[in-house]
Structure 1
Amino acid sequence: MIGKDIILQLSVRSVRLHFLRSVLAALGIVIGVVAIAAMGMMGANMTLSVTDDLSEMANVLTVTAYTGNGGGGGFGPPGGGGSSSGSDDELLTESQFRDIEKIAAKYGTVYAVYQESDTIEIGDDTRKATIYGLDPDVIPEVLTLAEGAYPKSTASVVVGPTIAERNDLKIGSKIDIGDSDEGSTTTVRVVGILEERGMSMDLSTDSAIIGSEKLFVGIYGGEGEYKQVNIAVDNLDDVDTVKTEIEEQLNKKNDEVTVSDSSRMLESITSTLSTMTTFVMAIAGISLLVAAVSIFNVMMMSVNERIREIGILRSIGTQRDEILKMFVYEAGILGLVGAGIGAVLSLAIGYVVVLGMVGTAEYFFAPDSIVYVLMATLVGIVICVVTGVYPAWRASNLDPIEALRAE
């Protein structure tokens, strides 16, 4: 009886004798493992990046007027830009703001937000931008400057870093709010540039202009009619309490407001990203199916070419299960080599893909990201072994006498 070490040696010998064929078969596994791992890591890094951004805003509640459809749903945050329609039923009143302030002021900072989308003129350039109006005393509490100062008059504003970069705005630059072709404009001066905030559900300031409430009302009117009210809760544990109290008080008789927190948006975004990642990985998995067919073909060719060898082995006492193991080992070797090389390449290629698609590799080595390398490696090995089972079974069930007669 041939020992297990000899069986493994015979499997290695077969792979070496048909080296080029084995390399091509293993290459399919390499490509499949890299594709699945890279796509998985890209999706994981996107999810982790978004989750981290929104988690920083987990203590912020946004109150908007109830519109009958959940208060703005989808992925766009209530403060994420866009024009306010100006209709009373989509705006919060001064009375509602005071009620919210009365409830939530003891838990943190409460402030009302005026918001409009309008044309701005910077030199000869005309474009759209979001205009915010905030209480001047609140602006330093909720927004962080990169340079300059906070606005102290109705003629001064701070701007987001994106709009500043795109329009080459600096401290002292002038902006005309409004379309000069359609009527009068209001000229304001940039006194500060904000730090980048990224995705947020309270205020999307990166591409916005922020001034005082008096400036906003002086341009658009609508004093005491707010797009939303934001609450920055001091203690994260109080978020649910504040949300419940506001809903119970203001929606006691009729639905007047909708209270949103980052968890709702986070669940929607992560669910969508997870679905997209699974879909992309499924497409990438097609390459592993192609590799499986290649492995199966290689193993069947190996059986057909070694029928006489199998007959000799059987005639000297080799058992069927040992013949079976010999061919399974051969498929396993191809899987281990292909998946191992694929895993190493996945780290290099995946890093480039993540950096290019997500813009940061900060979370690349996080467990939720690296797990896709392990998963793709295991899938590659399992596919090789599974596709080698039938050829191995067929080899083990060959009749020894008929096998010896083979040419």
Structure 2
Amino acid sequence: MTDGYRTILFNLAVRNLKRHKVRSGLATVGIIIGVIAVASLGIMGTSLSALVGGLVSDVSDTVLVTPHLAASSGDPFDPRNTLASRISDRDVAQIEKAVGQNRVIPMIRTSERLTVDDEGGYAQLYVLQADDIPFLLEKESGLYPQATSSGVMVGSLLADEFDLNPGSRIEVGGESVRVVGIAAERGMGIDINPDYAVIVTEAWYTERHGEQEYSQVVVKVADLDEVEGVKAAIEQQLNRREENVDVLDSREILEIYYDTWDAINVFLLGIGMVSLFVASVSILNVMIISVTERTREIGLMRSIGAERREVMFMFLYEALILGVAGSIVGGLVSAVVGFYVSASVAEFLTGYVATDGAAALSPAAVGYIVFGVLFGIAASVIAGLYPAWKAAQLNPIEALRYE
């Protein structure tokens, strides 16, 4: 088959698609939607993985000690059998003994009713020893809370939302307190997420609620090469007889996040690919109708010498044109849609807007767009194979008699 003859067949395919603009357009829209679903969902998963990975890796010097959840009896998935434990002062002393000169920061995580003027809701409350607050958090303005004062510190994003400054008064748990400082924006980490939180001293909290055991302990390791050794020492000290605490570093938590997001990403891609398969079914339907409507034309072509493979190529060109047009448009749109969907989900999950667009332009993101485009074209051509084969198998004489 010469190039000139291929051009004729291609032009016949274009002519037929133009004759049925609405039908062809609807089939193309289906491919566009499918490609957008595959590419944008893939970009979203990649962006979120990069976001979480970047946030956790920022605290690579951190070892996190949390209470081990002990199942009392029976089905471990029964929430009635799961008892949340805490970390005692004795446990903290053992951790300090195990880690040597590295900084140990015990903290309580809870929530309290927060009211600013007539607005309010529940906010995260971090309870820290006064001398640990400057070590863990940077201040944007004002002062750090002192053990002897009743002032509190608030996260930068919470301060922006309620227009708070050092000296502002807020209600925490129904008590009016003064904001003495604003913590600098820090983002989400494995140790503390203060941007939408209130930070108070342990002395302030115990004066109002009594002595409390700790929710977690953060260990800041001076030498990154010692992280594994510090973890092993804590495990040996506290989990010698039974498992009392869980000890993780940022790398392990990062792996957990990656595994989770990879699973979510596969699920999202599966949804997108299903929508693309649905779109390919519409192309299959369009092509079958086209073969039926052009039966006499096929018989005429065959009677004047057209070969079966030439008839087959003519219909495959139709499917290819629909697939290429829809996939390219879908790929272009998905670059925009995927980024904004990622940004919206990231804002919902982390509480702040990521302004860096690098994730949407990363090689992995471009790879998902290319994958979506190629998958859309391939799905379209595969959808056109059966109708094209059926057209090529028509008997010329019977086709000419078709009414």
Report the TM-score range of the alignment, normalised by the length of the smaller protein. Answer: 0.7 to 0.9
Judged with a 3 Å threshold, the aligned counterparts in structure 2 of structure 1 residues 313 and 119 are, in CA distance, closer, same or farther, namely: closer
The amino acid across from 1:144 in the alignment is E
The amino acid across from 1:139 in the alignment is I
**2:49 alignment partner in structure 1:** 47
Alignment equivalent of 1:396, drawn from 392, 399, 403: 392
1:138 partnered with 2:126: no
Q: What's the CA shift for 1:405?
A: 4.8
Judged with a 3 Å threshold, the aligned counterparts in structure 2 of structure 1 residues 149 and 9 are, in CA distance, closer, same or farther, namely: farther
| Alignment partners' CA distance in 1, 2:326 and 2:125 | 56
Native 8 Å contact 1:324 1:396 kept in 2: yes
RMSD in angstroms over aligned alpha carbons? Answer: 3.3
Tell which deviates more after alignment, 189-198 or 318-327. 318-327
List runs of 5+ in structure 2 lacking aligned partners. Answer: 78-82, 348-353
**1:165 alignment partner in structure 2:** 160
| Alignment partners' CA distance in 2, 1:9 and 1:351 | 41
The correspondence of residues 125-204 of structure 1 with structure 2, limited to 5 A, is 128-155=122-149, 156-175=151-170, 177-179=172-174, 188-204=177-193
- SS at 1:48 equivalent: helix
Native 8 Å contact 2:24 2:286 kept in 1: yes
List runs of 5+ in structure 1 lacking aligned partners. Answer: 75-84, 180-184
The correspondence of residues 351-370 of structure 1 with structure 2, limited to 5 A, is 351-359=339-347, 360=354, 361-370=357-366
Native 8 Å contact 1:42 1:358 kept in 2: no
Judged with a 3 Å threshold, the aligned counterparts in structure 2 of structure 1 residues 362 and 144 are, in CA distance, closer, same or farther, namely: farther
The amino acid across from 1:12 in the alignment is N
Judged with a 3 Å threshold, the aligned counterparts in structure 2 of structure 1 residues 35 and 226 are, in CA distance, closer, same or farther, namely: closer
Q: What's the CA shift for 1:285?
A: 4.1
| Alignment partners' CA distance in 1, 2:395 and 2:111 | 82
The amino acid across from 1:111 in the alignment is I
Identity %: 38
Native 8 Å contact 1:66 1:257 kept in 2: yes
Q: What's the CA shift for 1:130?
A: 4.2
| Alignment partners' CA distance in 1, 2:222 and 2:146 | 26
The correspondence of residues 7-406 of structure 1 with structure 2, limited to 5 A, is 7-19=6-18, 20=21, 21-68=23-70, 90-93=86-89, 95-106=90-101, 108-119=102-113, 128-155=122-149, 156-175=151-170, 177-179=172-174, 188-222=177-211, 225-359=213-347, 360=354, 361-406=357-402
- SS at 2:248 equivalent: strand
Q: What's the CA shift for 1:178?
A: 4.5
Q: What's the CA shift for 1:330?
A: 2.6
Native 8 Å contact 1:143 1:194 kept in 2: yes
Native 8 Å contact 1:119 1:128 kept in 2: yes
- SS at 2:233 equivalent: helix
**For 1:23-60, what per-residue CA distance to the aligned partner results, in whole angstroms no more than 9, with x for missing partners?**
33222212221233223322332232222222223332
Native 8 Å contact 1:64 1:92 kept in 2: no
| Alignment partners' CA distance in 2, 1:349 and 1:124 | 37
| Alignment partners' CA distance in 1, 2:17 and 2:68 | 71
**For 1:181-230, what per-residue CA distance to the aligned partner results, in whole angstroms no more than 9, with x for missing partners?**
xxxx5x6432210122332232232233323343333333328x433221
**2:351 alignment partner in structure 1:** none
Structure 1 runs of 4+ off > 6 angstroms? Answer: none
Structure with the higher fraction of residues in helix conformation: 2
Q: What's the CA shift for 1:381?
A: 0.8
| Alignment partners' CA distance in 2, 1:394 and 1:283 | 31
Judged with a 3 Å threshold, the aligned counterparts in structure 2 of structure 1 residues 32 and 254 are, in CA distance, closer, same or farther, namely: closer
Q: What's the CA shift for 1:247?
A: 0.3
**TM-score, normalised relative to structure 2:** 0.81
The amino acid across from 1:110 in the alignment is V
- SS at 2:181 equivalent: strand
Judged with a 3 Å threshold, the aligned counterparts in structure 2 of structure 1 residues 133 and 354 are, in CA distance, closer, same or farther, namely: closer
**TM-score, normalised relative to structure 1:** 0.81
Judged with a 3 Å threshold, the aligned counterparts in structure 2 of structure 1 residues 149 and 362 are, in CA distance, closer, same or farther, namely: farther
Judged with a 3 Å threshold, the aligned counterparts in structure 2 of structure 1 residues 379 and 317 are, in CA distance, closer, same or farther, namely: same
| Alignment partners' CA distance in 2, 1:317 and 1:43 | 53
